[in-house]
Structure 1
């Protein structure tokens, strides 16, 4: 079990343009050969966009992109003609497949905070895919079969317990609140990487908390 604290994340983005980024993995100009990926996961970025700020049209390929909004609302537009507004509690999935371009902006008048996670597909190619699940319920798993991965969203009350899924790779990211896991106290922005079957490992809410957990194949 490898604990990574929020303060260890690499700071990026463009603060002058209203973009602040915190990266959990080697990303962009920050190259760390010992932190390229964990299972299928190659990025877990916390993005903060000021009102009116955003990422202009840019390309992706051979990447499964899952986005979770923490505060505010995210406007998404892509080269397939889709336009969506993603709010807290929604899961957005974009499969770049052979290639797609998109725009991500904060068109609201309040700050936007979201977590975006990139996964590598098991096979290259295929057609781009897109889906938004609005208001996903607590404990409802969200499958990303192209990456052999499953996302679990948990909203824990203080004292509430939940089992960590058993899988070859498990990645736990604390969105808000404080949780206890295997003797570690984890706060917002902290993450845990677990290899091997995580059977009989429990997570407990030390306060009310929201946690994203990835279950990934070997």
Structure 2
């Protein structure tokens, strides 16, 4: 089964001061009881930051926060002492554990766009963790140690096909280009949620970049 969410159907947010956010799931003042999560994924935010804009220090806990920069440079700073600049092709993972604070800013003179994905952690109350992997290659599978989830990074040439993972929950987000999944054509910011891939393939119409989550669990509450 597949459900497609178009970029234009995302919930719009932002601070009116250089931050525009497009939420794929219920978030902050946007609440839809039928759209609070998918598998372990509880947020997939497309963030647009003008030069000098950003998010002041704020807290997180018991989340795996994975960030993918589309264009520009993201400056991250957190309460465990990390200060890094994330660029296109890098994967950043912040394991919030029992609690961490961080800030995110666009300190460059160019616009910044990034996709940030939050997954429920299977290590509630653990020590925070942090990792940046530079220059992720096509076909990379980035596994989360604290969640039963794997991120697949695919950069496809025109007409190239890739099989979607065989997993109970698969979330495919188009970063750039156009991709055909089943009978649907997905464009940047669109995402497909699949609960039975059954050999489903993604085919690039032209050159495309695709982020695919393979998830084999749901959050356990209480």
Q: Unpaired runs of 5+ in structure 1?
A: none
Match of 1:217 in 2: 216
State the distance in 2 between where 1:154 and 1:138 align: 5
- State the distance in 2 between where 1:180 and 1:195 align: 17
Q: CA deviation at 1:11?
A: 0.3
Runs of 4+ in 1 over 3 A off after TM superposition: none
3-state SS, counterpart of residue 145 of structure 1: coil
CA offset at residue 123 of structure 1? 3.4
Distance (Å, rounded) in 2 between the aligned partners of 1:110 and 1:35 = 33
Structure 2 unaligned segments of length 5 or more: list them. Answer: 218-222
What secondary structure, in the 3-state scheme, does the structure 2 residue paired with 1:152 have?
A: strand
Q: 1:121 corresponds to which residue?
A: 121
Between the aligned partners of 1:109 and 1:78, the Cα distance in structure 2 is 22
Q: CA RMSD of the aligned region, Å? A: 0.7
CA contact (8 A) 1:165 1:199 kept: no
Match in the other structure for 1:3: 4
Give TM-score scaled by structure 2 length. 0.96
Taking the aligned partners of 1:115 and 1:13, their CA distance within structure 2 comes to: 14
Contact 1:163 1:201 in 2 (8 A): yes
Matches within 5 A, 1:49-198: 49-196=49-196, 198=197
The answer (yes or no) to whether the contact 2:97–2:123 under 8 Å persists in 1 is: no
